[in-house]
Amino acid sequence: MSVSDAAQLYKASPKSIYRWLREGVVDGDRNLILELNRLKKENEQLYKLLGRATAEIQGPKS
């Protein structure tokens, strides 16, 4: 995957990805940048679900 493709996919700038790679933010075969972005997306999904559950519990507003 190219840096520009990864930047678009994980909503980071190519400059940031190059900097992280230059600084060694890679742990063997596991790319920590990709893991961080996966976790960010997962958190966003959980916040959406929490908001939906909260709205359902509160019920319709009068």
Per-residue pLDDT at 29: 52
pLDDT the model gives residue 32: 73
Task: Name the amino acid, one letter, at 50.
Answer: L
List CB contacts of 26: < 8 A, sequence separation 6 or more. Answer: 32, 33
Q: In total, how many domains does the chain have? A: 1
Determine the residue type at 49. L
**Residue-range definition of the domain harbouring residue 51:** 3-58
pLDDT, residue 11, reads: 86
Q: Looking at the whole model, is its pTM more than 0.75?
A: no
The pLDDT, as a whole number, for residue 6 is 84
Q: Tens-digit pLDDT profile for the chain (62 aa)?
A: 888 888 888 888 999 888 877 777 655 555 777 778 889 999 999 999 999 898 889 887 65
Q: At 13, which amino acid appears?
A: S
